[in-house]
Amino acid sequence: MKTVLITGAAGFLGSHLCDRFLKEGLRVIGMDNLITGDLKNIEHLYNEQHFEFIHHDVSKFVHIPGELDYILHFASPASPIDYLKIPIQTLKVGSYGTHNLLGLAKSKNARILIASTSEVYGDPKVHPQVESYYGHVNPIGPRGVYDEAKRYMEAATMAYHTYHNVDTRIIRIFNTYGPRMRLNDGRVLPAFIGQALRGEDLTIFGDGSQTRSFCYVDDLIDGIYKLLHANTHDPVNVGNPSEITISQFAEEIIKLTGTNQKVIYKDLPQDDPMQRQPDITRAKELLGWSPKVDRAEGLRITYEYFKSLSAEELRKTEHNKFEGYIKK
């Protein structure tokens, strides 16, 4: 039985990865410091014979006894409300954490896949975004701690591959949604649904003309699994190229939830990207991957998940969307 270490295992994506790799017959070691993760996301795995959880911060030395075949590095704050509150930890997990895990991969002769992001493209001047585009990023802006941490991750990963022959993979993840997202994580989809469920008006930052491309979590997890087993070391975009403006998306949420909320507009945060759409040509050619779940179906499933949350959980998220978010 092969063994995989998944960091950020109690997070949104990490917990779904634990599910997938257990289903594929691997022994899964989940690791998380719980700074943004939630044990509720993996409590259904506690009785699984081949699942183990370690409460640990990967920014500190990581020791895993025995053989290790794969490492998936998904530990990181991943939304503005998180990385603007904890900027130093965000930088550390992208730098020290990545260095520690690459060193572990080297010592174990394990294959490592690191989770990069579409944020490496910044506020792009090329559309849609293709992997050969170097990006347009403000390194000292409020989002720089996240953007540059991820860009460093990619550089460090490629260096370990080039100079130490470590077997590496780099995935650039575009906007993803689905069950186990946090309502208060600051991203537009849970924010809109949370506001609709609480009967609040939907808040758009900027004029709503900025675009996003939303990928359902099951599709993304499948792309990650296929990339891990593909023969490529270069970055690969994984996301859904179906692009929509934020204003259009707000209307979709209002229709989905059957509510009658208004849309209100506030100032656009600094360095917020105006366009997000992945070019997934490389993923199609190298992985044979493309998204299968359309947005209407994915949103329906996600909405049902959020509806199942308790009223207390919904109240906890009230008024804290983009709390502390630095604006122009």
Question: Is 146 part of the annotated catalytic residue set?
Answer: yes
Under 8 Å between Cβ of 91 and 61: no
Q: Which of 148, 121, 145, 125 is nearest to 135 (CA)?
A: 121
**Amino acid occupying residue 19:** D
Q: Whole-angstrom Cα distance, residue 249 to residue 79? A: 19
Angle between helices 12-23 and 217-228 (to 10 degrees): 60
User: For residues 198 and 206, is the Cβ–Cβ distance under 8 A?
Assistant: no
Q: What is the DSSP string of 155-217?
A: HHHHHHHHHH---EEEEEE--EE-TT--TTS--HHHHHHHHHHTTPPEEEESSS--EEE-EEH
Q: Which residues pair with 264 in a beta bridge?
A: 203
Question: Is the backbone peptide bond immediately before 139 cis, with ω within 30 degrees of 0?
Answer: no
CA pair distance 176, 205, nearest whole angstrom: 19
Question: 70, 146, 177, 216: which is the annotated catalytic residue?
Answer: 146
Q: Please list, residue by residue across 15-52, b when 16 or more beta carbons sit within 10 angstroms of its beta carbon and e when fewer do.
A: bbbbbbbbeeebbbbbbbbebbbeeebbeebeeeeebb
DSSP 8-state assignment for residue 44: G
Active site residues: 146
